[in-house]
Amino acid sequence: MKRSIAFLFSALLLWGIDAWADSYSDTVTLFRNAGGSAAFFQNCYGYAVFPTIGKGGLIVGGAHGRGRVYAHERYVGDTSMTQLSVGLQAGGQAYSQIIFFEDQRAFDEFTSGHFEFGADVSAVAVTAAAGASAGTAGANAGASGGKKDASTSGRYYKGFAIFTIVKGGAMFQASVAGQRFKYTRKT
C-alpha cells in the first residue's frame, strides 16, 4: 500500500507539474537575486531556465521539466529535461533549475539537439537549508535563508554552471542519475 501511494505521488508530481509552473521571468528573477548565481548573468553567453522540474522515485526515479533557452538575454528556443535515476531514493520534489553557458561553444553544444549531463555533473543548490554536493568538478557546500535572499556559490565546469532552487516536497536520494535535454529552436 505504501509503495502504491509513493508511486502515485511520484507520477502525479512528474506529469502534473505544468499546473505549478511559474513564469519564466519570475524564475529568472529568483536566480538573479540568489547570491552567487546573480553574477553569472553578467558574463554568460546564455542560459536555459526551467521554472519547475518535478522529480520522484522509489528505487527507480525520474524527473521532467520544460524550459526556455536564452542567448544574450534573447529568447531563442525551447528545451525539455528528462532524468532517470537508480539507487536508494524515495519521495517527490519540485525545483527550479538554471544552466549557464560560459561561451558560444557551450551554447552550441547544448543546442545541438540532444544533450546530456552525466551523473558526474553536480548542481549548486539554492535552498533554505544547508546542502552539499560532490562531483568531478569538486565539492561544493552552502547554506541560505530562503529563495529571495539565498546564498549560492558555483563555477563553470566544462563551460556549464548549474543552479537549483527547491520549491517543495521531500526526497531522500543516494542514486546515480543523468539528465538528457532536447532543444527546439524558436520559430
Q: How many other CB atoms sit within 10 Å of the CB of residue 138?
A: 10
Residue type, 77: G
Q: How far apart are CA 56 and CA 31, in angstroms?
A: 23
For residue 154, what pLDDT is reported? 73
User: What are the grid coordinates assigned to 164, written together?
Assistant: 537549483
DSSP letter at 42 equals H
* Residue-by-residue pLDDT tens, the chain, 187 positions: 455 444 434 444 444 444 444 489 999 999 999 877 899 999 999 999 999 999 999 988 999 999 999 999 999 999 999 998 888 888 999 999 999 999 999 999 999 988 998 766 667 777 543 333 433 333 343 333 344 444 445 789 899 999 998 888 888 777 778 899 999 998 8
**165 neighbors 95 (Cβ within 8 angstroms):** yes
Q: How far apart are CA 117 and CA 181, in angstroms?
A: 8
**33 neighbors 148 (Cβ within 8 angstroms):** yes
- CA torsion sign for 151, 25, 99, 172 is positive
Query: How much is the CA Rg of the chain, to the nearest whole Å?
Result: 16
